Chains A and B, each alone.
Chain A
């Protein structure tokens, strides 16, 4: 502690005694004038001493922090001396707030509060029955169709497509709007990519757009939006764009996987096999090709290899969609 702090504090105490002494004056005006003069000076000096002792971070902004201490000293004559000694100790020992201890919580509370459980209103199979059975009340069938629109799986799209021929106006309209919306979404994205290819001169960017186009056309096939005649055209487009992308992105294994899946659809099993193997060779994670390779072995009637390929990738059984297939091949069902 510097000598100036002691000096300021000592002088302040003397001035404070002077302020109390001033109250002994005979006239009220002299009492007031004397008290406030001495007390203001005493407050300023003790505020200075306290301010000097403050931890560095609390000294800013200088004017305000000094003013606050002065105000407290001014309105609490005498008591501020004791108060500020305690304060200094508190400020110097202040620590960051510790995190709250972990409290036990009721399991049921957590479920109710935080975990949003997606309840199934129908099982998938009954959903199909509700959608297809025309004798059921329209209200129930509409509800089933609405749920189908949320699923967005190839199976649900097929069911919605069947709704296009439904005798019920509302279901036909709903199905049409859903299919129309899906087609619109895809065609807008396709249009964007085509215009990007036309505009850009960067070969790599063009190739990436081709790859994306192959994926978008593949989406048509995957969710079953394309009808049989249109499907032929779509498959040609996938091949065309995938090959264009491959010209530039020679080491992109995902283009090879797309081409492999195309060959599978065309039942060109050997080419598909080569393409999947090549994809793994140039860097695709093996598990990405496992379902397709298993399919190829199945077509080739190499059933032992199907079982082997699944047993080589035990983690795949945790995929809820693959689990029933793997369980079957492992003879667990």
Chain B
């Protein structure tokens, strides 16, 4: 995240009220820009398709297909996301910049090949009712998404966030144009539009990476030579699987789900509120990026440089305390800002729901989902700080329990009835976040000892 960190620090150093707003704006654009653009575009694409298509079921099938593609590709590449990020970060620390491009392309190729062989039989066997073309588009879209998630690893390290946001905007704009032009041809045309947009996005992002990271090789598999941490491989999987676990359970539990297409099912009760609640954490994401990636990252760098370069003990203690203070400020500010947003949304949820023509029946679930997504944001921030402190074991344990608790408590919430829907996800996050705070507190208490004795 160094690239954006520098840029935000530069904006903040202007020391004007406007520069703070500007920094928050950039931060929001970088942290949630691509994500907001994609969600909103898919929504609009659905609306456009609804105008043309007599069969509303096709729009649902399209939106559910996309959700599955994103969920499965994220979980599939999760084995690589964190461990490969660490691999890249280590090479940057060693100043071996020429290793980034060939290994990134190697990792993209690796994930695409395995992704293809993983998803193709799945598409063929479980969604065969939609036809061969659908299965092919499903497979190719999945493979391209795998490539995008891996390319995403180095994107945040680049300073060209304007280009990145523009790439997302253009690609999703292409999807909208194609849906508008060919949408009436049916599900395959809709999925082909989605695939075309993502193929364009892949080429744009990979092109930027190739331009920014020169090398004397195109492909290398150095990352497979035992240089990726095993714990991070599983941590990435546990986290992504945990984030999607409750959704999958709701999609496949007979009491809460409905059939959509082939093997694909959705949950009419659960999907919309959680989807809206995720949109609500955009401001918190901006604060997270600004506070963790600039303030905390800067203090972290100061502390570890002081320790590495042999500064005086007084200076090391001072930097350490400043780093702890920065972490605390970041976490408190994330809670504060997101709580304000959550409270405001709870207050104004009724008029918003009425305006969007959504049933008010969803409201209780929407409230608990708002709390859950806020807790997820907080948990994410805790994990980010723990990653900075290289507490791989703590993160591994926390994400493992997040998965186990989310699975267990979501099943329990379904058994307890509709009033408890969403509580499983929220409660699992509350438990792991509390445990995370306890572990982080312990880590900070022993910071100097661990820095010097356990290296």
Point out the residues of chain A lying under 8 angstroms from B105, CB to CB: 68
Closest Cβ neighbor of A74 among chain B residues: B116
Tell me if A222 counts as interface (CB < 8 A to partner B): no
- Interface positions of B from 302 to 326, Cβ below 8 Å from A: 302, 305-306, 310-312, 315
Q: How far is the CA of A35 from the CA of B131 in the complex (A)?
A: 14
Interface size for B (C-beta < 8 A) is: 44
A residues near B254, Cβ cutoff 8 Å = none
Which B residue's beta carbon lies closest to that of A54?
B218
**B128 & A28 in contact (Cβ 8 Å cutoff):** yes
Q: Is B58 engaged at the interface, CB distance under 8 Å to the other chain?
A: no
With beta carbons under 8 angstroms apart, the residue of B10, B128, B210, B311 that contacts A87 is: B210
Rounded to whole angstroms, the CA-CA distance of A95 and B212 in the bound complex is 9
Q: How far is the CB of A85 from chain B (nearest CB, A)?
A: 10
Chain A hits for B340, CB < 8 A: none
Q: Report chain B residues within 8 Å CB of A95.
A: 214
Complex alpha-carbon distance, A104 and B9, angstroms: 12
Inter-subunit contact B143/A75 (CB<8 Å)? yes
Given A61-B219, A97-B214: A86 touches B207 (CB 8 Å cut-off): yes
Closest B residue by C-beta to A83: B203
Query: Which of A54, A64, A75 has the largest count of B CB atoms less than 10 A from its CB?
Result: A75
B109, A94: Cβ atoms closer than 8 Å: no
Cβ contact within 8 Å between B144 and A31:
no
Which of B45-53, B132-140, B263-271 binds A? Answer: B132-140
Residues of A within 8 A of B305 (CB): 113
CB-CB under 8 A from A112, the residues of chain B are: 302
A68 lies within 8 A of B199 (CB):
no
Chain A residues near B140 (CB, 8 Å)?
Answer: 75-77
* A60 touches which of B97, B200, B217 (Cβ 8 Å): B217
Q: Which chain B residues numbered 69 to 107 have a C-beta less than 8 Å away from chain A?
A: 97, 105-106
User: What total of chain A residues lie within 8 Å of the partner, measured CB to CB?
Assistant: 40
Contact (Cβ within 8 A) B218 A23: no
Q: In the docked arrangement, what's the CA distance between A83 and B97, Å?
A: 25
Chief secondary structure at chain A's binding surface: helix
| A65, CB-defined interface residue at 8 Å | yes
> Are A97 and B199 in touch, CB under 8 angstroms?
no
In chain A, positions 78-99 with a C-beta closer than 8 Å to chain B are: 79-80, 82-83, 86-87, 90-91, 94-97
A10 to B312, CA, bound (A): 69
Say whether B409 faces chain A, with CB atoms less than 8 Å apart. Answer: no
Complex CA gap A75/B110 in Å reads 13
Q: How far is the CA of A77 from the CA of B137 in the complex (A)?
A: 10
**Residue ID in chain B nearest A39 by CB atoms:** B136
Inter-chain contact B199/A28, CB cutoff 8 Å? no
Q: Is the CB of B136 within 8 A of A35?
A: yes
Q: In whole angstroms, how far apart are the Cα atoms of A112 and B306 in the complex? A: 10
CA distance A12 to B189 in the complex (A): 24
Q: Would A97 and B97 count as touching, CB distance under 8 A?
A: yes
The smallest beta-carbon distance between B294 and chain A, in angstroms, is 14
B106–A64 CB distance below 8 A? yes
Do A65 and B10 touch (CB < 8 A)?
A: no
Assess whether A226 is interfacial by the CB under 8 Å rule: no
Residues of B within 8 A of A106 (CB): 13
Interface assignment of B398: CB less than 8 Å from any CB of chain A: no
Given A75-B144, A116-B315, CB of A90 within 8 Å of CB of B217: no
Verify if B383 is at the interface (C-beta below 8 Å from A): no
How many angstroms between the C-alpha atoms of A65 and B221 in the bound complex?
12
B164 interface hit (Cβ, 8 Å): no
Are A94 and B210 within 8 A (Cβ)? yes
Nearest-neighbour CB distance to chain A for B24, whole angstroms, equals 21
**In the complex, chain B residues whose CB is within 8 Å of the CB of A94:** 210-211, 214
Within 8 A of B (CB), among A277-292: none
Max chain B C-beta neighbours (<10 A), residue from A59, A65, A68, A104:
A68
Closest chain-A Cβ to B199's Cβ sits at a distance in Å of 4
Say which residue of A58, A83, A96, A116 sits within 8 Å of B218 (CB atoms).
Answer: A58
- Judging by beta carbons under 8 Å apart, are A87 and B207 in contact? yes
For residue A316, CB closer than 8 A to chain B, the reply is no
Kindly state the separation between the CA atoms of A23 and B135 in the bound complex, as whole angstroms. Answer: 12
**Bound CA span A80–B144, Å:** 11
The answer to whether B144 touches A64, judged by C-beta atoms less than 8 angstroms apart, is: no
> Out of B10, B132, B206, B212, which one reaches A32, CB within 8 Å?
B132
A312 at interface (Cβ–Cβ under 8 A)?
Answer: no
Contacts of A79 in B (CB 8 A): 196, 199-200, 203
Instruction: Confirm or deny: B202 has a beta carbon within 8 angstroms of a beta carbon on chain A.
Output: yes
Kindly state whether residue B185 has any CB partner on chain A within 8 Å: no
The distance in angstroms between the C-alpha atoms of A96 and B213, with both chains bound, is 8
B43 contacts chain A at the CB level, 8 A cutoff = no
Q: Which residue of B lies closest to A118 (CB)?
A: B312
C-alpha gap A99/B312 in the complex (Å): 31
Which residues of the partner chain B approach A60 to less than 8 Å between Cβ atoms? 217-218
Q: In whole angstroms, how far apart are the Cα atoms of A82 and B305 in the complex?
A: 46
Answer whether residue B395 sits at the interface, using C-beta atoms and an 8 A cutoff.
no
Nearest residue, chain A, Cβ from B213: A97
Q: Is B286 part of the contact surface with A, judged by Cβ < 8 Å?
A: no
Chain A residues positioned under 8 Å from B108 (CB to CB): 68
Contacts of B202 in A (CB 8 A): 76, 83
Shortest beta-carbon distance from B173 to chain A in Å: 16
- B219 CB contacts on chain A under 8 angstroms: 61, 64-65, 67-68
Contact present for A90 and B106 (CB under 8 Å): no
How distant is the Cα of A79 from the Cα of B306 in the complex, in angstroms?
A: 50
- Indicate which residue in B10, B212, B218 contacts A97 across the interface (CB closer than 8 Å): B212
Considering the complex, give the chain B residue whose CB is closest to the CB of A28: B132
Q: Is B23 an interface residue (CB 8 A)?
A: no
Q: State the Cβ distance, A273 to closest chain B Cβ, in Å.
A: 45
Would you call B143 and A96 a contact (CB within 8 A)? no
Interface centre among A64, A104, A118, by most B CB within 10 Å? A64
A71/B211 in contact, CB under 8 A:
no
- A125 proximal to B (CB < 8 A): no
With A75-B143, A116-B311, A116-B315 as contacts: A64 and B199 at CB distance below 8 Å: no
Interface residues of B in 256-309 (CB under 8 A from A): 302, 305-306
The answer to whether B211 touches A90, judged by C-beta atoms less than 8 angstroms apart, is yes
Q: Which 5 A-B pairs have the closest CB atoms?
A: A79-B199, A83-B203, A64-B219, A58-B218, A75-B143
24 pairs, CB–CB < 8 Å, chain A vs chain B: A28-B128, A28-B131, A35-B136, A54-B218, A57-B217, A59-B218, A64-B220, A65-B217, A67-B219, A71-B109, A72-B147, A76-B140, A76-B202, A79-B199, A87-B203, A87-B207, A94-B210, A95-B214, A97-B97, A104-B13, A106-B13, A116-B310, A116-B311, A118-B312
Extra contacts, 16 of them, besides A58-B217, A59-B218, A90-B211 (Cβ < 8 A), are: A67-B219, A71-B112, A74-B116, A75-B116, A75-B140, A75-B143, A79-B200, A79-B203, A83-B199, A83-B200, A87-B207, A90-B210, A97-B97, A97-B214, A113-B305, A116-B310
Interface residues of B (CB under 8 A from A): 10, 13, 97, 105-106, 108-109, 112-113, 116, 128, 131-133, 136, 140, 143-144, 147, 196, 199-200, 202-203, 206-207, 210-214, 216-221, 302, 305-306, 310-312, 315
